Amino acid sequence: MADFGQGFLINPFICSTDEFTADRQYLHDEIFPQLQVRCQDRAGGFKPFEWDHNLSTDRLQTGLSLQLAMDCIQRAAPYFIGLVGDLYGDYRAPESATLPDSIEDLPQNADWIDKSLLYAAEYGYDWVLNEMYNSTSFFELKIAQAAFIMEDTSFCRFYIRQTDEELTASGYAKFRLQQLKSSLAKRGLHVAYFTTKEQLGELVLRDWLEIIDRVYPRLDLEQNGTHYLYLINSQ
């Protein structure tokens, strides 16, 4: 149980591709405020962290985007929300030449994806260069960090969109996306399925209310009123 004397913050990292713009906005407008109210009842807060989906070309060219995202996932752990749909995200082509051993060996005009992988490896995430992750999208690498690499997955929640249409991804990306969806379920992770943003909202609200109640039970105001008032006044 949490140390209520220090307050608390639940800040899940939200991992998704660009197709979820409307869904993310709906969560921010309709669902997250309700979760914030529940956390406030426990003298805490609910503040999801969402990676910037509108990084400029200049920022991408620094090669730090993947490493910074991994750092944020580490800080948000064990809380994580994965939205999986029809897009696989940016990845290194399977036919690409082998990466050098260090970032210093890359040419100055190297692709931002190559830079990002080597910077991430240099700053503590060397597993991204393992053979099993060859040509894995950055989207899947973020999921792998939270769900496969880190030990505590108890508060990782994945929401997979189901549609009647063909996947917009094709070929290799379509295959890898199907593999990802299958692996999430096979590993026994918490996976739910939805078709509309409203259904997604209902699932997220249900899951994260349960998580808040599980991790930070409501204080008994009759027995702990003085302590509760102290917490409220100290926020």
Query: Cα(17)–Cα(9) distance, rounded to whole angstroms?
Result: 25
What's the pLDDT score for residue 219? Answer: 60
Q: Which residues contact 192 (CB under 8 A, 6 or more apart)?
A: 157, 158, 159, 160, 203, 207
CB 220 within 8 A of CB 169: no
pLDDT tens for the chain, 235 residues long, are 344 434 589 999 999 999 999 999 999 999 999 999 999 988 889 999 987 665 655 566 677 889 999 999 999 999 999 999 999 999 999 999 899 988 888 888 888 999 999 999 999 999 999 999 999 999 999 999 999 999 899 999 999 999 876 556 669 999 999 999 999 989 999 999 999 999 999 999 999 999 999 998 876 444 444 444 444 444 4
**Residue labelled with tokens 């051993």:** 101
Query: Cα(169)–Cα(174) distance, rounded to whole angstroms?
Result: 5
Taking alpha carbons only, the member of 60, 122, 136 closest to residue 92 is 136
Is 113 exposed, middle or buried (CB count within 10 Å of its CB: 0-12, 13-18, 19+)? buried
Query: 14: part of which helix (H) or strand (E)?
Result: strand 13-15
Q: pTM for the full model?
A: 0.86
Phi-psi region of 188 (alpha: psi -120 to 50; beta: other; left: phi over 0): left
What's the pLDDT score for residue 55? Answer: 60
In Å, how far are 53, 107, 160 from 75, measured between CA atoms?
Answer: 19, 32, 24
pLDDT tens track for 118-159: 999 999 999 999 999 999 999 999 999 999 999 899 999 999
